[in-house]
Amino acid sequence: MKRQVLTALGTAALLATAAGCSSGGPSPAAAGADTKAMTGTVTVWLMEDAGKSWPELVQQVNDQFAAKYPKVELKLSYHNWDNKVAELDQALTTNQAPDVVELGNTETMKYMVNGNLAELKRNTFDNADNWIKGLSDTCTYNQKLFCVPYYAGARVGIYNAKMFQDATGSGEMPRTEDELLTALDKLAARNKGNAGFSPLYLPGEYWYAAMSYVTAYGGSIAKFDDTGTWHGTLHEPKAQQGLQHFADLVKKYNKSGNLLVKETDQATVVGREKSALMYANGWELGNAIAPITGTPALKDSLRIVGMPGPNGKPLPSFIGGSDLAVTAKSQSAAIATDWVRMFTSAKSQQVLADKDILPNNLSQLEPLKNKPATAAAANAVPDAWFTPVAPGWGAVEKQNVLVTMLDSIFKGTSVDEATKAADAQMNQLINNPS
């Protein structure tokens, strides 16, 4: 899962030269070493979100790095989510990999298992004893740390308060799912003349949402058993309950005319008032009010809240986010690690928190739980779920095991049969490094 803050607009590049220039890798930065005399090059790949949304943090860290390592050249480039993995795989093959690379938290396992990332010492990073567990887990393999949490994200409810007000008499999001379903029925009645209107827009292939309902019922995608292997658990009763509940919601409230689609365009659906509610990343609100993808006039009507889930509790969210890693073949590993240390320091994390981006640790996350713009996502993060940290999870995603299962359900296959098939396919893939 790629956790984006803005929609991808292309690849930009930046060359940031700290000072001086020298080829080759610097010597390890031992304690007490004269860092001002060190030479070499450190290459950093960040996602374009950093350059667009918090360039001041990038500049702050680059300035700090330049002051400490004035003779080390820093080459920093921005990449987009669509192409980064292919670019990185190619770079690793040709031994042209960056020293530091940003990875979406679902991308890390592949590179940890394949030995592409350098092991890091947890206690040398700020807030390491207080990192958000869902992020920390994505950086840990065989009890060793291979990357550092960068920022977090969570899915929330984004709803049109005016539509709710017009249909129910209240512009507030209902607190329970039972109350929400009553409100959705009233929204459906109110908008009968709005062709294709979906009170709740849930795309049928939206597997992150489907797995949130699985988690809500106490189910899981897969488990690590006593034999030392992973196995699919979607066929278990609790997981089936969650999937059935998700399917029932999609069938009843998604009136778009095509259930077999991903969530890619859900912000546009809400932004063009073809739905009153979506379960989405918080940043998708920006797309819903953007001139091309949505309607700017909805700025005061769209609100972010915690999504009500079954059993009287909030719907568990998938934890999104990014991590920073040092590649195993880096010739500048010690200094590259220091750049990561600066970029994920408490000072740097505060820059993100001040911009309503969820930081990597619980201490700096806490104030955001009471801030209107961030409360829903911040409160969802500590109890969020994540995909199995298994060697072959990348292959499970690549072969669309969960999407295929959902498609079959919406084409008429029973949840029982569809989950049995999904588990069988998953078991063939999940234990093999991808």
Task: Say if residue 412's pLDDT is above 90.
Answer: yes
HSE, CB side, 13 Å, CA atoms: give it for residue 4.
18
- The model's pLDDT over 80-120, given as tens digits with 9 standing for 90+, comes to 999 999 999 999 998 899 999 999 998 999 899 999 999 99
Task: Say if residue 3's pLDDT is above 90.
Answer: no
Structure confidence at residue 148 (pLDDT):
98
Among the residue ranges 52-56, 166-170, 223-227, the one predicted with the least confidence is 223-227
Full-model pTM: 0.84
CA distance 14 to 24: 20
Structure confidence at residue 89 (pLDDT):
95
Structure confidence at residue 13 (pLDDT):
32
Structure confidence at residue 415 (pLDDT):
98
Kindly report the average pLDDT of the chain as a whole number.
Answer: 91
Structure confidence at residue 18 (pLDDT):
32
- State the pLDDT confidence band at 10, using cuts at 50, 70 and 90: very low
What percent of the chain shows pLDDT beyond 90?
Answer: 85
Mode of pairing for the β-strands spanning 40-47 and 100-104: parallel
Task: Say if residue 416's pLDDT is above 60.
Answer: yes
Structure confidence at residue 204 (pLDDT):
98
Buried b (16+ CB within 10 A) or exposed e, 55-75: eebbebbbebbbebbebbbbb
- State the pLDDT confidence band at 175, using cuts at 50, 70 and 90: very high
The DSSP result for 329-342, as a single string, is T-TTHHHHHHHHHH
Structure confidence at residue 32 (pLDDT):
61
Q: Who wins on pLDDT, 217 or 33?
A: 217
Structure confidence at residue 69 (pLDDT):
97
Structure confidence at residue 285 (pLDDT):
94
Mean pLDDT of 206-219: 97
- The model's pLDDT over 387-398, given as tens digits with 9 standing for 90+, comes to 998 989 989 999
CA distances from 375 to 38, 203, 362 (A): 44, 25, 13
Q: Other CB atoms closer than 10 Å to residue 322's CB: what's the count?
A: 27
Structure confidence at residue 365 (pLDDT):
97
Mean pLDDT of 283-287: 93
Task: Say if residue 194's pLDDT is above 90.
Answer: yes
- State the pLDDT confidence band at 283, using cuts at 50, 70 and 90: confident
Cα dihedral 85/88/93/97 (nearest 10): -170
- The model's pLDDT over 309-347, given as tens digits with 9 standing for 90+, comes to 998 889 999 999 999 999 999 999 999 999 999 999 999
Mean pLDDT of 211-230: 95
Structure confidence at residue 190 (pLDDT):
97
Tokens of 60: 């702050």
Task: Say if residue 29's pLDDT is above 90.
Answer: no
- The model's pLDDT over 113-141, given as tens digits with 9 standing for 90+, comes to 999 999 999 999 999 999 999 899 999 99
Mean pLDDT of 54-67: 98
Bridge partners (DSSP) listed for residue 46: 78
- State the pLDDT confidence band at 8, using cuts at 50, 70 and 90: very low
Q: Who wins on pLDDT, 16 or 168?
A: 168
Q: How many helices (H) and strands (E) would you count in the chain?
A: 18, 11
CA distances from 64 to 57, 99, 148, 338, 340 (A): 11, 18, 19, 11, 12
